[in-house]
Amino acid sequence: MPGIGGTAGSGASTILSAAGSAATKTAGAAAFQAQLADLAAVSAEATARSMQLRTLTTELSTIKKAADERAT
Can you spell out the DSSP letters for 2-57?
HHHHHHHHHHHHHHHHHHHHHHHHHHHHHHHHHHHHHHHHHHHHHHHHHHHHHHHH
pTM of the predicted protein model? 0.57
Tens digits of residue pLDDT in 6-17 = 455 566 677 767
Looking at residue 40, what is its pLDDT? 98
State mean pLDDT over 36-57.
98
The alpha carbon of 2 is separated from its chain's Cα centroid by a whole number of angstroms, namely 51
